[in-house]
Structure 1
Amino acid sequence: MTRLSTFARQGLVFDVRDAGPRDGAPVVLLHGFPQTSVSWGSVAELLNEQGFRTLAPDQRGYTPGALPRRRRDYRLSELIADAVALIETAGAGPVHLVGHDWGAAVAWGVAAARPDLVRTLTAVSVPHPLAFIQSMSRSTQALKSWYMLFFQLPWIPERLMSDESGFLERSLRGTGQTPANAARDLAELHRLGGARTALNWYRGMPLTQPSVLRRKITVPTLQVWSDGDTAVGRKGHELSQRFVSGAWELRTLEGVSHWIPDEAPERLAELLTEHFRKHATAA
């Protein structure tokens, strides 16, 4: 099977990290904010050792060939369509779909819109988007998510997320990232010309139609939450079950921050492998 280094959609070109046995069961790994596919490196290596082929794209806003500037280009429907294009380009049949942070929101959308392309779904750190919204009025989630409103402001977030400010690095470290990983992710952002396109993931939220998420998830679903997560509480994960009609399970990692793929790759890879093999024949 041919290796993928890129895939294209509507004139945009996305870089992909394709690793592991070419004939292994395919696993698509979607990163979150403000990271790239590099954040999946340790997890991908562990999955490759278990015989899985991993496909980790740099999503729009995080890859040189796909940096649209308008916030409407970052509606969830566009992000979902990008992931669908990757799966169809890979041509390996239904995939095990895994997303962390914003990547989880995209993964939920893909599983809702195109269940024929998804063998299993794993959402790491972020619940179903509609459950997340519901949790705002039923927990302290609204307080945890203050930054989402702040990111809607023009130019001020970009200024604070510049190299000179140090704001973003301090924020990442404050949520549990190691200094090395925070520096790595900041270097990737600035290599791409700054934070604007990454921030547009948040700025595209008000333009997203809820209809893209209203279909129930029919594929086997695993949610992974960590009790050291300062950005996302447990309530949204518990509420997510109502949006899933297929098999559903919530697992909690104790003593781990929001940055699960970086901080606990072995524990996450173990949960993923168990989930994939349990539902290996799911269609």
Structure 2
Amino acid sequence: MAMKTLDTTDAQIAYTDEGRGDNVVLLLHGSFSADWFAPVGRRLADEGYRVLRVHRAGYGQSKDLAGGVSVQAHADHAAKVLEDAGARHAHVVGHSSGASIALQLAHARPDLVRSLTLLETAFPYAPDEPKNPAMPLAIEAAREGDYERGFDLFLGGVSGPDFRKVFIRELGENGLREAEASSRYFFTQEAPALGAWHFGPVEAAHVTAPVLLIVGGEGERLNTPHAARSAQLFSWIPQSEIQVLQGLSHALPLEDPTLIATTIKKFIDHRSQ
């Protein structure tokens, strides 16, 4: 599928525009791969939605021209994609760091967000979250210049030892290699930007759209922080709900794209009636 591109002051953003329908879905992927949502997006387009799937700055075919893009800037890029596509608003879906960007968009531009679906949101931190060693060990490996080891430590720690097989099954060998190649950008540019982002109860009060917080049930076994982070958002946003998908981990958009697409569809359809 041909990519569309738009230029901003700090980035060149590529996105796909697939499917037709009155309901527009904007997909914001997580770290490492621009294609986390590729299988989900195809399924949603087949279900009659117009799907805008963004390659965030620094990933895939998009370029970070600033040498480090803030969460606020990523959200601004998403708003510009909607404008470029002629969409007045959208049902916004984010995964991991993309979920944090979706939150920022809903805070800054509530007029653009009809509903918000957040899969295993990466930030903000929760005070009671379990301390998973995956991220500190991954950062240490990256500081030593071993980005591939950092990639393995991080995704293995939050998704389990079979995450590479999942990538290859859904995205092929090239998809896995592209994700590995993006590790340097994540550790040197995106991770610091995410760490500098603040989102608390005051910001959450500006989120007016209904919110679905999706958590992978395998996170409890893997001792990941995402359930606690989602629970914190649930306590801040009264129009939110949590759904736990058993048998899935942080890699849930690739582990079961059919279930993820179906879950998103049910939430959107209920809110569009």
* TM interval, short-chain normalised: 0.7 to 0.9
**Does the CA-based 8 Å contact 2:137-2:150 persist in structure 1?**
no
Rounded to whole Å, the distance in 2 between the matches of 1:149 and 1:210 is 25
Instruction: Tell me by how many angstroms 1:120 deviates.
Output: 0.5
Rounded to whole Å, the distance in 2 between the matches of 1:154 and 1:258 is 21
Where in structure 2 are the equivalents of 1:98-109 lying within 5 Å? 98-109=93-104
What per-residue deviation string (whole Å, max 9, x for no partner) do you get for residues 156-207 of structure 1? 26x2124xxx55246534523142516544421466xx53322211111343
Work out which of the residue numbers 32, 35, 58 in structure 1 matches 2:33: 35
Instruction: Tell me by how many angstroms 1:67 deviates.
Output: 2.6
TM-score by length of 2: 0.83
Work out which of the residue numbers 203, 211, 216 in structure 1 matches 2:192: 203
| Residue in 2 that maps onto 1:257 | 249
Amino acid in the other structure paired with 1:10: T
Identity %: 22
Amino acid in the other structure paired with 1:227: G
Instruction: Tell me by how many angstroms 1:4 deviates.
Output: 6.4
Instruction: Tell me by how many angstroms 1:235 deviates.
Output: 2.0
Tell me, yes or no, if structure 1 residue 147 matches structure 2 residue 135: yes
**Does the CA-based 8 Å contact 2:216-2:244 persist in structure 1?**
yes
SS in 2 for 1:139: coil
Rounded to whole Å, the distance in 2 between the matches of 1:121 and 1:218 is 10
SS in 1 for 2:53: strand
**Which of 233-242 and 218-227 deviates more?**
233-242
SS in 2 for 1:204: helix
| Residue in 2 that maps onto 1:95 | 90
Would the alpha carbon gap of residues 210 and 178 (structure 1) be closer, same or farther in structure 2, given more than 3 Å must change? closer
**Does the CA-based 8 Å contact 1:148-1:202 persist in structure 2?**
no
**Does the CA-based 8 Å contact 1:101-1:124 persist in structure 2?**
yes
Would the alpha carbon gap of residues 146 and 154 (structure 1) be closer, same or farther in structure 2, given more than 3 Å must change? closer
Unaligned runs of 5+ in 1: none
User: How many aligned residue pairs are there?
Assistant: 260
Would the alpha carbon gap of residues 52 and 145 (structure 1) be closer, same or farther in structure 2, given more than 3 Å must change? farther
Rounded to whole Å, the distance in 2 between the matches of 1:86 and 1:80 is 10
**Does the CA-based 8 Å contact 1:6-1:15 persist in structure 2?**
yes
Would the alpha carbon gap of residues 209 and 42 (structure 1) be closer, same or farther in structure 2, given more than 3 Å must change? closer
Rounded to whole Å, the distance in 1 between the matches of 2:248 and 2:204 is 31
Work out which of the residue numbers 114, 128, 138 in structure 1 matches 2:128: 138
| Residue in 2 that maps onto 1:66 | 63
Instruction: Tell me by how many angstroms 1:89 deviates.
Output: 1.5
Instruction: Tell me by how many angstroms 1:30 deviates.
Output: 0.6
Would the alpha carbon gap of residues 173 and 145 (structure 1) be closer, same or farther in structure 2, given more than 3 Å must change? closer
| Residue in 1 that maps onto 2:18 | 19
Rounded to whole Å, the distance in 1 between the matches of 2:56 and 2:141 is 22
Would the alpha carbon gap of residues 228 and 115 (structure 1) be closer, same or farther in structure 2, given more than 3 Å must change? same
Rounded to whole Å, the distance in 2 between the matches of 1:60 and 1:112 is 20
Amino acid in the other structure paired with 2:147: M
Tell me, yes or no, if structure 1 residue 172 matches structure 2 residue 162: no
TM-score by length of 1: 0.81
Unaligned runs of 5+ in 2: none
| Residue in 1 that maps onto 2:110 | 115
Instruction: Tell me by how many angstroms 1:55 deviates.
Output: 0.8
Rounded to whole Å, the distance in 1 between the matches of 2:179 and 2:228 is 31
